[in-house]
Structure 1
């Protein structure tokens, strides 16, 4: 049965209090300026029918009012991009949609998710442009009483941790909680635009579109991760993100080799690493904005013991652990030579005809904590993005497992997803 989503209202929600004049310009940090524009962090939160009946009209009014209150604190989200270095905090507001879902229950969506159908639950009916709102919200009401809240944010201004802080702040306000999430906007002062010779362009983009990219979701429960840990017993204390990343990389390598002519090409695994908790002096809680870098692990062309699973775990672990407080300190001090050396290493890993796969972790950012008065979400999900060979890692609801959303070309995904070794662990 095909899910039908009917939009029943459209609104623009503005901050409940005007942004003060001295805050009208929000400067982007060095990290923000190197992030592509576009709604590249789509999040869906699913809530079952509340145990106590709720008045839909009252609930909707509460969501709007609390969203408006939350935007007062997260005021840059209600603005518009001004230029390559700043946001005009003009209180233009965010787009808010309400919709009803026909021919489908919440349980149907959760038990048999289809990435094409899930996209309908997000407010993505218009492509991103430089004049677009920076935040979009869509509240979907299922006939069974369940609710799905879709949120999309412009990646230029926010990472997953910042979006999670906003969603949780909104949920606190919705249930009248006295606890307040107050974002801190210090990153532009700590990491301003310093590198005059940097030729980073500024453009609105949602990624390449000349290919059809689809996503498959692979669930690694705690028991699956425990088995992976046993396979990597020679590596000291690997995290579940490192274990799952290395396993998917291993299966990706084996799958690519099986479909190719005999080859000795190298393979690279790129991983986004958040720097917010790696600074020697801790940042303020809920520091808003992007602050991450990308590291790479390289499997050279020579096929030897280095392509065994334990070795791949060690490679990814070493790359991630190499980003420490000293690395952040040098970036903060404006050590351009340090940055250029790092970029040269990344460039080397990107060249040589290798086959790359990209990872980013959305784990441990508290998305499952968002309680709007109906309890915690039963599922937090995302959708496919137009980037092939991209893997997004998300928490399971229990917090000890991982959902891996693997984006691949349409003609490739079925072959990869049918790998018996992959399915034996996920």
Structure 2
């Protein structure tokens, strides 16, 4: 039976204290201005571990706590309660954020977690709004299951926040809900001071929700043991201590390129295959800049990760790819390097097949406790994204969950690659890892 989700309540949550007039205008930084108009969606699943059969009362208490503490958190993160104005600034007018409650029927929480599918996750929040200037910058939806389990989706506008800023907000919300005295204090000045907004910046309508019908997104999990094995295989004199993200990314990219090349060989000779492959992604540059920015600087403060594979097969060994990634990481804040690679992509067009990369590892998203325990499962929802690699921690913090998006024809070859299956498990139960 297909899962049904019905919105049963909707309200606006405003900051618990009004934003002072001197903070009414929050300037976007130049990197915000060029960020896409879409929302960063993460869903947090909480299994009901109580024996209380009165789910309605329990859910009512928990929902009230979420709304009350969300209001308190918005006082600290006041730009999120405002509205975007002309791709230049946020009017911090305390209009608030959307808070929705939904009832899920014909499905148990355990049914979703047994084999998570991106299409089902996508039903746990509403589609992105079309009018970005007049809609909230944050949407929260509490999905309630008949068993008393809950799925909390939190979507934040990418126009004003990257993954680090997102993680800071949800951590602060959780800290406030637990009554912690060590709550995050965000910095709303550093980003626009270092990267002032451009008055002539065009109002972009770019989103990542494109090519959905041609793309397929599938989940894989790499456990801690296999991550360690990949790190050992990726070690070289060039990179003697690869990180787990570097090793896993390189291994996945290697398999993706192999699948693409294999499919190209099956095509008629009149259809040309890519001349090269590139991996691009965002890198947190708060600590990489000189001088560094505060840890909790709010905004899109990312550099460009870049790795290139020419189509002669020379760089597709694991250590070589890791060296490419490490070099790209070191150059990620070099504006000249970024401009050069961006220009290259424009000139080469379809001759270069580009994979997007996003890592949310070590963001602490499994620590989100509002008073009834940490989430059983947490995942970002990458449905419809461009082809690429999305990484998140597993619940134990040592493994890596992968959401891989490829063209349909490439995915068929990728998911049957024995080299991939030697280290990655296709969509195992989220109740176990």
TM-score under structure 2 normalisation? 0.88
Aligned residue for 2:36?
36
Matches within 5 A, 1:223-262: 223-234=225-236, 235-261=239-265
Matches within 5 A, 1:254-273: 254-261=258-265, 265-273=275-283
Distance in 1, Cα, partners of 2:403 & 2:361: 12
Q: Secondary structure of 2:208's match?
A: coil
Aligned residue for 1:97?
100
Q: Secondary structure of 1:307's match?
A: coil
Residue 308 (1) aligns with residue 317 (2): yes
Aligned residue for 1:330?
none
Answer with 199-208 or 386-395: which moved more: 199-208
CA gap of 1:176–1:124, structure 2 versus 1, over 3 A, is farther
Distance in 1, Cα, partners of 2:398 & 2:343: 34
Matches within 5 A, 1:350-365: 351-352=347-348, 353-365=351-363
Distance in 2, Cα, partners of 1:342 & 1:174: 41
CA gap of 1:125–1:206, structure 2 versus 1, over 3 A, is closer
Aligned residue for 1:379?
377
> Post-superposition shift, 1:351?
4.4
Answer with 147-156 or 313-322: which moved more: 313-322
**What are the Cα deviations for residues 202-227 of structure 1, in whole angstroms up to 9, with x where unaligned?**
22343353542331111111111112
**What are the Cα deviations for residues 58-97 of structure 1, in whole angstroms up to 9, with x where unaligned?**
2221111111111111010011101222111111111110
Answer with 69-78 or 214-223: which moved more: 214-223
CA gap of 1:354–1:126, structure 2 versus 1, over 3 A, is closer
Pairwise CA RMSD? 2.1
Answer with 157-166 or 204-213: which moved more: 204-213
Distance in 1, Cα, partners of 2:62 & 2:274: 59
Matches within 5 A, 1:96-115: 96-115=99-118
> Post-superposition shift, 1:200?
5.3
Aligned residue for 1:423?
421
CA gap of 1:286–1:93, structure 2 versus 1, over 3 A, is same
CA gap of 1:74–1:140, structure 2 versus 1, over 3 A, is same
Mapped contact 2:174–2:370 kept (Cα < 8 A): yes
> Post-superposition shift, 1:299?
1.5
Matches within 5 A, 1:23-102: 23-39=23-39, 41-51=40-50, 53=52, 55-102=58-105
**What are the Cα deviations for residues 109-145 of structure 1, in whole angstroms up to 9, with x where unaligned?**
1111121111111233744533221000000111111
Q: Secondary structure of 1:43's match?
A: strand
Mapped contact 1:214–1:384 kept (Cα < 8 A): no
Q: Secondary structure of 1:277's match?
A: coil
> Post-superposition shift, 1:250?
0.4
> Post-superposition shift, 1:345?
3.2
**What are the Cα deviations for residues 129-183 of structure 1, in whole angstroms up to 9, with x where unaligned?**
3322100000011111111100111101011111111112212222333332221
Q: Secondary structure of 1:143's match?
A: coil
Q: Secondary structure of 1:254's match?
A: helix
Alignment: residue pair count: 408
Mapped contact 2:235–2:242 kept (Cα < 8 A): no
> Post-superposition shift, 1:24?
0.8
Q: Secondary structure of 1:130's match?
A: coil
Q: Secondary structure of 1:12's match?
A: strand
Aligned residue for 1:289?
299
Aligned residue for 2:344?
348
Distance in 1, Cα, partners of 2:182 & 2:298: 18
Mapped contact 1:78–1:133 kept (Cα < 8 A): yes
Residue 207 (1) aligns with residue 211 (2): no
Residue 2 (1) aligns with residue 2 (2): yes
CA gap of 1:400–1:321, structure 2 versus 1, over 3 A, is farther
Distance in 1, Cα, partners of 2:232 & 2:138: 43
Distance in 1, Cα, partners of 2:150 & 2:186: 27
Q: Structure 2: state its 5+ residue gaps.
A: 425-433
Matches within 5 A, 1:88-167: 88-124=91-127, 126-127=129-130, 129-167=132-170
